[in-house]
Chains A and B, each alone.
Chain A
Amino acid sequence: MTMQLQLIPPQYTVQSPEMLEAYRKRGGYSALEQVLGRNDRKWMLDEVKRSGLSGRGGAGFSAAMKWSFMPAEPSGPSYLCVNADESEPGTFKDRHLMERVPHLVLEGIILAAWAMRAERAFILLRYEYPNCRRILQQAIDEAREAGLLGQGLMGTDWSLEVVIRLGAGTYISGEEMALLETVEGNRAWPRQKPPFPAQRGVFGRPTTVNNVETLACVPLVIAAGVDEFAAMGSGKSTGPKLYCVSGHVKRPGLYEAPMTVTLKELIYDPRFGGGIRGDRVLKAVIPGGSSAPVLRPDEIDVPANFESLAKIGSMLGSAAIIVMDETVCMVRAAQNTAHFFDHETCGECTPCREGCHWMRQILDRIENGRGMEGDIDLMSDRLAAIEGQTICPFGEAVTWGLGSIVEKFRDEFQEHIRLGRCKYEAWQPAKEQMA
């Protein structure tokens, strides 16, 4: 049975998710049947490689490549960690996947685990996603009942357990080396690389960390056809993609599209964001979460994919597209982001911990009208002191995310300092709808 090349059929909602019977009707678990029937791991890795599937967690790293680092003849258990910690500002795609099509995620987990000879998959789920937890657990229970999980699943001599483990309210747990610590029940201070997770991961065993959406693509690679998957999109940006559009568009929401779609279309096309609310003028777009450098309106006519955004000095990241219209004060946007980083830095490296704190203080005073001559250069210095000096990429995220706002909207920072105040209005909640 072939599947359509689609991650989330729109009829499924958190109130009425796609459970086992419905999932089977769209070809669900036929990929697993096919893969276990062939019983050829090299074939499966080749297929995933040929599909061009790139990681959806932020870095866009080849899934097949990552899996191939796992030992082919492990001398003990290997593990898969499913990164469901989704905490990048503006990101909600993994929540939609887990709430609406839990079995697609689960089949992806089983397939990936099989390819890597993993015997246990830890789903590291953020605490703030209780609906995901409930629905995923129902799907796991259904799958177990149907013989798709557990000892000797589907008549093989392989066994897989899928367990849900909790993140507990910290952004850094989503960074893969910190995620390993969280799964082990330690404070989430990222480990130094090397050793890489495939060498020494959870409890010292070979481990691979993959994002929820990456794994959800795997059944489609096999059951919708590897050629079809590779043909959708371009370059290393293949297959269907979920975009999280938030901020000042008429229709904020989750949109699925091939990675040939442009940022401009995602913001203005009636099928997606539908344009700027109140037909105001666009001011800025963050294309991939808070770590992605901000773009100006003249930069958005580019495909929203890994290569095109990298080429213009930004990144697809978590595909969280935060849209800001002309009413937005960019100093305040930077201030808000600095508060996020200062709150979420794990504090393990001095340049990151102190740099975040400095940025917060400087931005607070500029926004509050107490900015000083030289503050802009001071920020650039502080940010430069972080880049390349930290254990995990959070440091670079701070540098790139905040640095780009300061650089591209320098005038606004200067104006705040010159005027000694912010001339923009406060951000207010929407007025009540009149009945």
Chain B
Amino acid sequence: MKLSEQTSQRIDALLAQAVRPREVLLVALELAQKECNYISPELAASLAERFGMTQADMEDVLTFYTVLHRAPVGRHVIRVCGTLPCAMAGSDGLVEHLSRELGVEPGGTTSDGLFTLHQVECLGLCEQAPAMLVDDQPYGKLTLQRVSEILQDYRRRSS
């Protein structure tokens, strides 16, 4: 997998402003992931070279940060909060419901490649518990019905 010319240029622009290249590494990885879905070994290797890092160094970063994916994920990543305020508001029930509707366990990706489901820690949306994030979109005060509607919306939009 190779980066598009456009993303490549954006990374160059970031690098040009950086005090040291590593300052923009996480931003660049996120851009790359947005475009390529995940950070494949080849992509990691080419970015490591660009940032003057060893492969081991890159591996160290990729394995540490949980939002960086090293294997393909669904087109939409669903992150349901499972931390105390959301847990008390029934987030386990939401995850079970999503698991059933999608036919995957948390951590898994649907066979049509549309969704990946994760249970994560506090998303900073606790006043709207239970809450989740689908890609960049926050959703709060969720009920089972609302979750099903949201899934339907994403399915409709992608068909």
Contacts and interface: CB of A to CB of B under 8 A. Distances in A.
Interface of A: 77, 86-92, 94-95, 120, 122, 126-131, 161, 163-171, 182-188, 203, 244-248, 252-254, 286, 290, 320, 322, 324, 328, 333, 336-337, 339-340, 343-344, 426-433
Contact of B126 (A90, A129, A169, A340): A90
Interface string B98-111: 00000000000000
A431 B84 CA distance: 19
A335 to B, nearest CB: 9
B87 A165 contact: no
Given A127-B30, A337-B84, A430-B143, 19 more contacts: A77-B19, A89-B85, A89-B122, A89-B126, A126-B124, A128-B123, A165-B23, A165-B24, A168-B30, A169-B65, A169-B68, A169-B120, A170-B66, A183-B23, A184-B22, A246-B126, A322-B84, A426-B92, A429-B130
Nearest to B146: A432
Contacts of A244: 126-127
A165 B27 CA distance: 6
Interface string B139-153: 001111110000000
A427 B142 CA distance: 14
A343 B106 CA distance: 15
12 contacts: A89-B84, A92-B124, A131-B138, A185-B21, A186-B61, A187-B63, A252-B126, A252-B127, A320-B126, A337-B84, A428-B90, A432-B146
A95 B124 contact: yes
B149 to A, nearest CB: 11
A180 to B, nearest CB: 11
B85 to A, nearest CB: 4
Nearest to A248: B88
A187 B143 contact: no
A430 B126 contact: no
Contacts of A92: 124-127
Given A90-B85, A429-B93, A185 B127 contact: no
**Which of B20, B27, B88, B123 has most chain A Cβ within 10 Å?**
B88
A129 B142 CA distance: 19
B117 interface: no
Interface residues of B, number: 56
A170 B66 CA distance: 7
Given A87-B121, A89-B85, A432 B144 contact: yes
Contacts of B19: 77, 120, 203
A252 B85 CA distance: 10
Contacts of A170: 64-66
Contacts of A322: 84-85, 126
B64 A187 contact: yes
Contacts of A89: 83-85, 121-122, 126
Contacts of B93: 426-429
Nearest to B51: A185
A91 B27 CA distance: 24
Contact of B26 (A168, A324, A339, A426): A168
Contacts of A169: 65-68, 120
Contacts of A431: 143
Which of B17, B19, B146 lies at the interface centre, i.e. has the most chain A CB atoms within 10 A of its CB? B19
A378 B92 CA distance: 28
Contact of A427 (B66, B90, B97, B145): B90
Contact of B144 (A184, A320, A333, A429): A429
Most chain B CB neighbours (cut-off 10 Å) among A320, A328, A429: A429
